[in-house]
Amino acid sequence: MKRTRTNWTKKATILLAAICVALAAMTAFTPSGAQEWLLQVEGTPVSRAVYSYFLSQAVRDAQQAGQMKADGSPKDLSALRKDVAARCVEYIAIGNQLRDMEVPVDQVLKSQVAEQTAFFWRVFGRYYKSIGVSKQTLNAALTGEAAKDQLFRAMYDAGGTKGTTEASIQAYFYGNFLAYEGIRVFRWVMEEDGEDRKMEDDEVLALHQTLLDFAQAVNDTDDFYGVAQEETFARALSGGMPTMTWVRTDASEFSEDELKQLQNLKNDKVVLLSLTRFFLVAKGVNMRDSKEEHYFRYRADCLWKLKGAQFEAELKKLCGGYRADENTGAMERFYRAWKW
């Protein structure tokens, strides 16, 4: 019996040694630093791939803000690292908060992220691969970013923990949006060489008369699209067709006087408006006739406008409760190897 135990122990020792050798061999073929964490948020390691994704986003924003040098490196590396750390904190904090609130994964959001991932990977896949971001990591990061909107809705949408009434959202929409159906016609002429030039006064007058005739013809036939295709008018319209346009009155390209003209458009009559930058042949639209087409198209934007500032304050408070710790040595090596 004693010899049996010895043989069993010997066999187990040999097996364990073989496993150790195999693991050592696998480690030898693991890319340098692959298992080395760069950042931990409340003890949760952020993978190098996820960190690289958020760094690429921070660099993009820094470039747009003029915070990068001519050689592509940051003017303030410390500030950039703080920005990336903040993005990682938000990524983890939002995920934790949704789990604490027992908010299930939004299947519509999940589907939208899958489409977004496929598009980004098709267009920017080579770049993401070059910085160590896989398609799976890209999907996880985009899902985390989309989760911010899910948390916002879980808190501030109708029925949320700090819910906004549907009546309030509708009141904001109908008080700050208008819609018209029409076509813009610019006072420019394309020359034979393809260059545009500003119309002469007599050309503007001729165009104005043609558009008056166009508006009258539409009112006579009640066929906006059909008349726009008639040869007499198609040339003046440069082949354009009437489209539905929505205007947010508290942040629009139109002057106060032009907005009043748009608000006064009748739903049953097409008119010609002479605006600062172009002529507009249009009629008004009663958005209350179709909530699906109008209200629900901008409902999410209205909710953000109403509660976005409060949410950002709550999110800042939430993230403030999370601590991010850098692996200083690993981080220094990572940034030295990063290709700006």
pLDDT in tens, the chain (340 residues): 434 444 433 333 333 333 333 323 322 233 344 456 899 999 999 999 999 999 999 999 999 999 999 999 999 999 999 999 999 999 999 999 999 999 988 888 899 999 999 999 999 999 999 999 999 999 999 999 999 999 999 999 999 999 999 999 999 999 999 999 999 999 998 777 778 899 999 999 999 999 999 999 999 999 999 999 999 899 999 999 999 999 999 888 899 999 999 999 999 999 999 999 999 999 999 999 999 999 999 999 999 999 999 999 999 999 999 999 999 999 999 999 998 8
Residue type, 110: K
Taking the mean position of all CA atoms in its chain, how far away is CA 283? 32
- What number of other Cβ atoms are within 10 A of residue 153's Cβ? 21
What are the start-end ranges of the E strands in the chain?
A: 39-41, 44-46, 177-186, 188-190, 196-198, 243-248, 271-274, 278-284, 324-326
**What integer pLDDT is reported at residue 3 of this predicted model?**
40
CATH 3.10.50-classified regions of the chain: 171-289
Fold of 171-289: Chitinase A; domain 3 (3.10.50)
**What integer pLDDT is reported at residue 136 of this predicted model?**
96
89 token code pair: 């904190």
- What number of other Cβ atoms are within 10 A of residue 253's Cβ? 10
